[in-house]
């Protein structure tokens, strides 16, 4: 039993175990028949891509520390060796579940719908003729077969490159076996579409390489062969204080990352044991780091099925985002912002309004300067293009974060292009990532007054991810906010610290302290008998000090609703510690990415939005910004549309239990589950918000939320505490 003491390790859940549970929820979506079939294939591919990053970053970092002789204790009380053992067992179980999902469910169901993934032995004569021609015409020119011998060392296999290993025996010297290695070319699609009337057929490119191997290794007998893939430690180890150029340091480390220590190898389950042994020795892997998979190596390749199958009936229905419409009195966006702030909820509200804000600034001769942060921009960034165009005739400053994980190379290219076009480019601050999402314009308006306009957001300036991530954007001309944004840019470009950044909260300067203060203020309201409630939505909750503050608030009587999509170290529902805390995770067609923090504040509610999760890295290792929604109408929208819909969701929500499990709203902790809601009783927040954007629903149609609580916690009136919470919020804001 968990004791209700704040300093007990047992009051915290393990970070890595929590992440693995999160990825398990992604995999659950792949197995959920209520999702369209091709979307389920996509969820399986996402779970594989997520696991790649977990090994590249988390496992790679853990093994590096153990190799360096560290074995410290994690906040939940596990040693690093114990954490490695936890990961060892959980990841192998997870991979088995992935391939069971593919082999037993998705592949047969795809075949029933006329979408087949075939092996060489399943091809008819026409398909075989196509494959032979494809191999000669497209594949063979890109292949470099290698036979390992004293003159030909084992090739340097780069991170996550799909390869084929072979055991070879020369016909003239049959007593010796050699290792052959062929890298599957990245320039070709991972699944090749076959000509097949009436069905949509694919074959994996690795199977074509295996099929073609005999033609590459003439003079050899192929004893055995298997596809494999190696994942390497992809952490960047930068000595920023000793570096003359951060850009050059990142470039050098990116080159090294492709050759980092191997942390995992995936190989076909039927691979010859001698191949496995040879590869394990080459890559210096322990047995637990070798994953023998019952199916295609690298399930993230299944994205190609989703993209290559023109079957809209097997995907989520298309929808049209709501476009920003100016009021009749406004001639342009800037005049509109002088009248009132604008809040956008992406992807339900079109991201074009944000792009228009930046592009209008670039083209408007009244705009004198633009300042912009860039974290993950994408390969074809309209924002970056607009900044480069603007630099020809106005002052443009860009703070480009070079250390945005896995976007480093793209950001280096953009940084160079921006500098070449005349933009002043900065790379943030030493030892701090620039993660805040800010754009600031200075404009001389028609009335002769010079004003500042700002965009503040929770998501990246990336039009592609804006279609699949839920995020919030605030467009404002509020003098207090724009002045504070100006001060943040001064901090980023000159390390110039101001006495305060109000009304913003800025990490690493005061954000952690102010969040703690807001939580403690709610606790004091509760102790004094005033309305006290916290509703917080974020990607992850791991910071120990924040968690302890939430525990204290719960003990004081604060009702706390947490919407945490991913990792959560807090244990809810522990008697005497976290009775009043409920944690749920929502996973659906969109990635829940917005961060929202609601504090009831004794009947005078405050809502903050921004880029920061409640994690140590966000609070202390990054430059982050939380900003208030000062306009009551905007606060009302966030509470009554976004938070209310999320809290009412009984389709895509899972509730965190104190033992670390996640259960659906209808599932009992003892395993006696009920049937999932159907028809009118089923409420999916994301589907509802799409309908709301399209105009077919209204906020008044959001049902009263039903929390996941035991019978002893229900109120006698029949209304749940959460239902009362939303009703109370409605009264205080109205």
Q: Is 325 a domain residue? A: no
How far apart CA 721 and CA 370 sit, in angstroms, is 47
| Count: domains in the chain | 3
pLDDT at site 672: 61
Q: Is 560 a domain residue? A: yes
Q: Are residues 124 and 245 in the same domain?
A: yes
Q: Is 29 a domain residue? A: no
Q: Are residues 353 and 308 in the same domain?
A: no
Q: Is 7 a domain residue? A: no
Q: pLDDT tens digit string along 245-271?
A: 555 555 555 445 445 899 999 999 999
Q: Is 14 a domain residue? A: no
Eight-class DSSP state of 184: P
Q: Are residues 343 and 393 in the same domain?
A: yes
**For the whole prediction, is pTM greater than 0.85?**
yes
pLDDT at site 713: 33
255 is catalytic: no
Q: Are residues 622 and 649 in the same domain?
A: yes
Q: Are residues 40 and 68 in the same domain?
A: yes
CB 74 within 8 A of CB 5: no
Tell me the CA distances in angstroms from 524 to 517, 527, 536, 607, one per residue in order. 10, 5, 18, 18
**Ramachandran region of residue 70, left (φ > 0), alpha (ψ -120 to 50) or beta?**
beta
Q: Backbone phi, then psi, for 671, in 5-degree steps?
A: 90, 0
Q: Are residues 364 and 512 in the same domain?
A: no
Cβ partners under 8 Å of residue 673, min gap 6: 664, 666, 667
- 726: domain CATH number is 3.30.870.10
Question: Looking up tokens 């630099």, which residue turns up?
Answer: 391
Positions of the chain with pLDDT under 70: 1-7, 173-174, 236-259, 403-408, 670-673, 705-734
How far apart CA 732 and CA 734 sit, in angstroms, is 6
Catalytically annotated residue among 435, 455, 593, 708:
435
- 221: domain CATH number is 3.30.1840.10
What residue numbers bound the domain in which 209 lies?
35-314
With residue 227 as reference, give the H or E element that holds it. Answer: strand 220-232
CA nearest 234: which of 270, 260, 208? 260
93 token code pair: 């179980």
Q: Is 441 a domain residue? A: yes
Name the H helices within 261-366.
273-282, 303-308, 333-339, 352-363
């Amino acid at each position: 039993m968990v004791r209700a003491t704040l300093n007990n390790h047992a009051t915290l859940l393990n970070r890595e175990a929590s992440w693995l549970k999160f990825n398990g929820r992604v995999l659950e979506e792949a197995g959920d028949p209520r999702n369209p079939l091709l979307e389920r294939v996509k969820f399986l591919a996402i779970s594989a891509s997520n696991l790649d990053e977990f090994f590249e970053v988390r496992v790679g970092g853990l093994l590096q520390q153990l190799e360096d002789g560290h074995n410290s204790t994690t906040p939940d009380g596990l040693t690093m060796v114990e954490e490695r053992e936890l990961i060892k067992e959980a990841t192998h179980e997870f991979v088995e579940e992935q391939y069971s999902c593919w082999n037993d469910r998705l592949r047969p169901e795809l075949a029933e719908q006329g979408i087949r993934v075939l092996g060489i032995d399943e091809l008819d004569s026409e398909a075989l003729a196509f494959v032979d021609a494809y191999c000669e015409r497209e594949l063979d020119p890109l292949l470099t077969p290698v036979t390992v011998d004293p003159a030909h060392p084992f090739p340097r296999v780069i991170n996550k490159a799909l390869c084929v290993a072979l055991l070879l025996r020369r016909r003239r010297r049959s007593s010796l076996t050699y290792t052959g290695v062929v890298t599957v070319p990245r320039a070709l699609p991972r699944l090749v579409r076959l000509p097949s009337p009436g069905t949509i057929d694919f074959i994996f490119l690795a199977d074509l390489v295996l099929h073609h191997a005999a033609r590459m290794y003439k003079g050899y007998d192929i004893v055995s062969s298997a596809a494999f893939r190696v994942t390497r430690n992809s952490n960047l180890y930068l000595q920023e204080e000793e570096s003359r150029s951060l850009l050059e340091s990142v470039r050098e480390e990116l080159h090294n990352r492709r050759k980092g220590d191997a942390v995992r190898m995936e190989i076909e389950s039927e691979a010859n044991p001698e191949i496995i042994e040879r590869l394990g020795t080459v890559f210096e892997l322990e047995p637990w780091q070798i994953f023998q998979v019952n199916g295609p190596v690298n399930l993230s390749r299944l994205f190609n099925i989703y993209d290559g199958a023109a079957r809209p009936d097997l995907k989520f229905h298309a929808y049209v985002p709501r476009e920003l419409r100016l009021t009749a009195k406004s001639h342009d966006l800037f005049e509109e912002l002088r009248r009132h702030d604008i809040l956008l909820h992406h992807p339900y509200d079109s991201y074009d309004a944000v792009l228009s804000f930046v592009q209008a600034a670039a083209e408007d001769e009244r705009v004198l300067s633009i300042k912009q942060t860039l974290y993950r921009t994408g390969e074809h960034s309209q924002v970056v293009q607009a900044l480069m165009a603007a630099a020809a005739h106005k002052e443009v400053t860009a703070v480009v974060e070079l250390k945005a994980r896995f976007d480093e190379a793209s950001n280096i290219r953009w940084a160079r292009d921006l500098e070449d076009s005349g933009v002043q480019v900065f790379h943030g601050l030493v030892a701090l990532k620039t993660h805040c999402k800010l754009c600031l314009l200075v404009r001389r308006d028609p009335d002769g007054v010079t004003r500042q306009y700002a965009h503040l957001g929770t998501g990246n300036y990336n039009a592609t991810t804006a279609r699949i991530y839920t995020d919030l954007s605030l467009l404002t001309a509020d003098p207090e906010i724009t002045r504070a944004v100006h001060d943040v840019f001064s901090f980023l470009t000159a390390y110039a610290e101001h006495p305060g950044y109000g009304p913003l909260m800025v990490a690493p300067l005061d954000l952690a302290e102010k969040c703690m203060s807001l939580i403690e203020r709610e606790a004091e309201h509760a102790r004094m008998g005033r309305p006290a409630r916290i509703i917080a939505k974020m990607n992850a909750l791991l910071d120990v000090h924040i968690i302890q503050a939430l525990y204290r608030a719960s003990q004081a009587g604060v009702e706390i609703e947490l919407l945490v999509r991913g990792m959560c170290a807090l244990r809810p529902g522990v008697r005497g510690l976290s009775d009043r805390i409920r944690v749920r995770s929502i996973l659906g067609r969109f990635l829940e990415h917005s961060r929202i923090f609601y504090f009831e504040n004794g009947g005078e509610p405050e809502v903050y939005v921004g880029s920061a999760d409640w994690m140590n890295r966000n609070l202390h290792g990054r430059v982050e910004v939380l900003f208030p929604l000062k306009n009551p109408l905007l606060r009302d929208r966030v509470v009554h549309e976004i938070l209310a819909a999320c809290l009412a969701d009984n389709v895509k929500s899972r509730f965190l239990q104190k033992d670390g499990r996640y259960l659906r709203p209808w599932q009992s902790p003892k395993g006696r589950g009920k049937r999932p809601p159907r028809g009118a009783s089923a409420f999916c927040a994301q589907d509802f918000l799409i309908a709301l954007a399209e105009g077919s629903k209204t906020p008044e149609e959001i049902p009263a939320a039903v929390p996941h609580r035991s019978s002893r916690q229900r109120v006698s009136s029949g209304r749940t505490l959460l239902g009362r919470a939303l009703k109370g919020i409605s009264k205080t804001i109205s």
